[in-house]
Amino acid sequence: MRQYFILFIFGLLITFSSCRTDFDTVASSGDLKFSKDTVYLDTVFKNIGSSTYQLKVYNKSKDDISIPVIQLKNGLNSKYRMTVDGMAGTNGKIFKDVTLLAKDSLYIFIETTADITDANPADFLYTDQIQFDSGTNLQEVALVTLVQDAVFLYPKQNPDGTKEKIKIDGKDVDGFYLNENDAVNGNELLFTKQKPYVIYGYAGVPESKTVTFEAGARVFFHSNSGLYIDNQASLQINGTASSTDKLENEVIFEGDRLESLYDDIPGQWNSVIFANGSKNHSINHLTLKNAITGLNIKSPDNTTTIQIKNTQIYNCAEYGILAQNAHINGENIVINYAGLAGLSCVYGGNYIFTHCTFNNNWQGSSQFAVNLSNSLAGATPETNPLTQATFNNCIIYGSASNEFNLNKNTNTAFVYQLNNCLLKFSTTSNPDYQFKTDVAHYNQIILNENPKFLNVSKNKFNIDNTSAAFAKGNPAYIIPLDIIGATRTSPPDLGAYQSAAFPK
């Protein structure tokens, strides 16, 4: 009896299988649908691979179809490459007889590596099309990539096959020293706006040399890269005010991933490091973003003041500015989003900041906009006098309850003063934070009132006349022009921006 039952089930399976039609396909008829009609692969540097971009292809019909060919129009010569539903095809360029089930979809992933010579010389665009089928059934999706020419700076390879290195804090790191007479690049100590620069590893400024960045220079740092200013060397950043959102006259330091996805991702590159003994630094109109630590100032010769003016630092994984026993005069500085602190002045030093906006909207609970200390952490903390830390007409704000932190060691001096500042800090009985009664350290403090920044998430710290910072500055500390070159009136507003109609 059992064997008859098994034969019966087997017969049913054969019957149902013979009735199925979903193993059969029909030829495609040019009715595919696409998630987009053009895939923009953003901007790439010449010969540097792009990110991977996605296209979704839909079969809206009730039939399983076979697409005779999916291919790049330029065929095997195309600088694009694809996978189609995980298949590599012929060199990632040509795919034959691709099945797409009824009411289903497939994914195409696209990448490119193009040279500037591949692009249209008129607009530097490299283009191609993904073709589906042919003849009257032909459908196409355009591919577009902007290819930028650039100056590439990187460690050379030694004769023994190892990579060139330089010493930072006594450790060998991948890096090289900029050469003012390089056989290929010419004077590498002068960065102009003619082409962007892409740096791999640490670019070092040799002892007693000066590196200069002209207005409009663009510098892109690869992962684990940075700029190192050696002993007795100097940094001069000579940006000027810009008239558009393109920041055409700013000097810009950022990571080398150009896709919009990476616009605001912290930690894409390391830092600008000032070695102990480096000197005569001047920074004007610098925009720095997406580093681990933006400016890392390691106990330089504090008889030399580092001038930092009209500078924006955003989205740093640890610090916007980390200064150890430094001597800084800062004007019109804006810092936002830092994992530990926007501005951290440790191991003493001498600091004056005027008309600066220190904000920290990092998504956490232990970060600060400003941190001051006269010691270095350790089992036995090292101390050094904080001879001055003065903040005039500044805003110190953010998303945490307390955005201002004092870490005092009583074994050495700790001198600080805030004059006419807007400050966010929850109430406390700690005698160091008596903002209304401690006149030796705090003068005309506006506590926990909203500065009403234009758009913190987009790093727009403009204010208008409804802001608590409006016209609250002391004219004795006025910087005549704000960070974008607008004229300050008297009494001035607090922070780096003078109030005006918000930009569109």
As a whole number, mean pLDDT of residues 72-88 equals 93
pLDDT in tens, 82-91: 999 889 889 9
Tell me the average pLDDT across 311-317: 98
Residue 402: per-residue pLDDT: 95
Which pLDDT score is estimated for 212? 98
How far CA 1 is from CA of 4, 5, 142, in Å, comes to 5, 6, 65
At 23 the pLDDT is 52
**Residue environment code for 193-203, b if the CB has 16+ CB neighbours within 10 A, otherwise e:** eeebbbbbbbb
Residue 4 has pLDDT above 50, yes or no: no
The reply to whether omega before 300 is within 30° of 0 (cis) is no
Q: Which positions ≥6 away from 461 have C-beta within 8 Å? A: 334, 336, 357, 359, 453, 454, 495, 496, 497
Whole-number Å distance between alpha carbons of 42 and 152:
20
Q: Which of 187-201, 298-312, 344-358 has the lowest mean pLDDT?
A: 298-312
Give the chain's mean pLDDT: 90
Stronger pLDDT, 320 or 120, i.e. the higher one: 320
> How confident is the model over 334-359, as a mean pLDDT?
97
Nearest to 129 by CA among 72, 79, 80: 72
Confidence of residue 301 (pLDDT cuts 50, 70, 90): low
**Cα(26)–Cα(149) distance, integer angstroms:** 47
Amino acid at 446: I
The residue-averaged pLDDT of 441-456 equals 97
According to CATH, the superfamily of the domain at 26-148 is Immunoglobulins (2.60.40.10)
Backbone torsions φ then ψ of 9, nearest 5 degrees: -60, -40
Query: What value does the mean pLDDT take over residues 345-354?
Result: 96
Strands 53-59 and 33-34, by their bridges, are antiparallel
The structure tokens 């060919």 sit at 69
Cβ count within 10 A of residue 160: 5
Domain residue ranges of the chain, discontinuous segments joined by +: 26-148, 151-477
Q: Above 70 in pLDDT, residue 201?
A: yes
**pLDDT, position 192:** 96
In the prediction, which pLDDT does 300 show?
A: 65
Is residue 299 pLDDT above 90, yes or no? no
How confident is residue 116, by pLDDT bands cut at 50, 70 and 90? confident
Q: Which of 44-48, 246-250, 291-295, 423-427 comes out lowest in average pLDDT?
A: 44-48
Residue of 202, 213, 162, 158 lying closest to 178 (CA atoms): 202
- List C-alpha distances in Å: 360 to 287, 320, 340, 400: 17, 10, 9, 8
Specify burial of residue 179 (Cβ count, 10 A radius: 0-12, 13-18, 19+): middle
